[in-house]
Chains A and B, each alone.
Chain A
């Protein structure tokens, strides 16, 4: 049986149930409030994007991102904040289509670089972004437990 074609469109508030369902199937955790807030944050502004991939059987993937300027000293740049594909729809280039559409949307806003942050052990998603052409950039994430702060200040 041939899989139905994938179409892309902007997300609407009513889609968040389907988006949250895909996320829950991927992560094992339902977060309805989070997705409602994500739509408020990304779905209603001109410099932010929340796109969906749809097949005959409904929503099969999503991506959200925005243009951010001068964060960490960086000139305006596109950020990918989240991307997800229904496990049942994998292998149909859904994520690639979503990512390319987000890149086009970012370009239309005048930025020439797209960036994301990803867990070091998230090999699946890191391999995906690398397959799109992304490489390590000029930033590195640093962090520490706040409980450690006192120990280091004593010696400073």
Chain B
């Protein structure tokens, strides 16, 4: 599974904020740690703020903190904001109503189901432990 840069930015940002609950972390600090563009990260952080995953504190010493409960927030909750990983019975494979397209759709559906189940079962709290 290849993730877009925005998705990876979001996951790294949430990881960093969850690592130190309560501490206000500046976008530049996260960008430095992971070698990300500050501008790109800022857009992602705005989207996460809109979704109430994180919250921003303005002013001197301001930054971002995690707003969601890391035991409840899953990787799926984050990734699905930036990637199209929702299962759909659409003709995304191309090929129309052919047997080949139907066969490919069945294989891709199985992969999607496993991906979703994995991402929905890994909370941010568990994600933190995986990095140790």
**Residues in chain A within 8 A of chain B (CB atoms):** 120-121, 123, 126-127, 130-131, 133, 136
Contact = CB atoms under 8 A, between A and B. Distances in A.
Contacts of A123: 117, 120-121
B121 A127 contact: yes
Contacts of B122: 127, 130
Given A123-B121, A127-B122, A127-B123, A133 B114 contact: no
Contacts of A130: 121-123, 126
A126 B126 CA distance: 12
B5 interface: no
Contacts of A136: 118
B42 interface: no
8 contacts: A120-B114, A121-B117, A126-B117, A126-B120, A127-B74, A127-B120, A130-B123, A131-B129
Interface in B7-37: none
Nearest to A120: B117
A135 to B, nearest CB: 8
Interface string B113-132: 11001101111011001000
Contacts of B120: 123, 126-127
Contacts of B117: 120-121, 123, 126
A120 B71 CA distance: 19
Nearest to A127: B121
Contacts of B121: 123, 126-127, 130
Among B71, B118, B121, B129, the most chain A Cβ lie within 10 Å of the Cβ of: B121
A126 B121 CA distance: 6
A80 to B, nearest CB: 15
B56 to A, nearest CB: 28
Contact of B123 (A120, A121, A131, A133): A131
A85 to B, nearest CB: 16
A127 B114 CA distance: 14
Nearest to B118: A136
B113 A133 contact: no
B19 to A, nearest CB: 17
A155 B129 CA distance: 48
Contact of B113 (A120, A126, A127, A131): A120
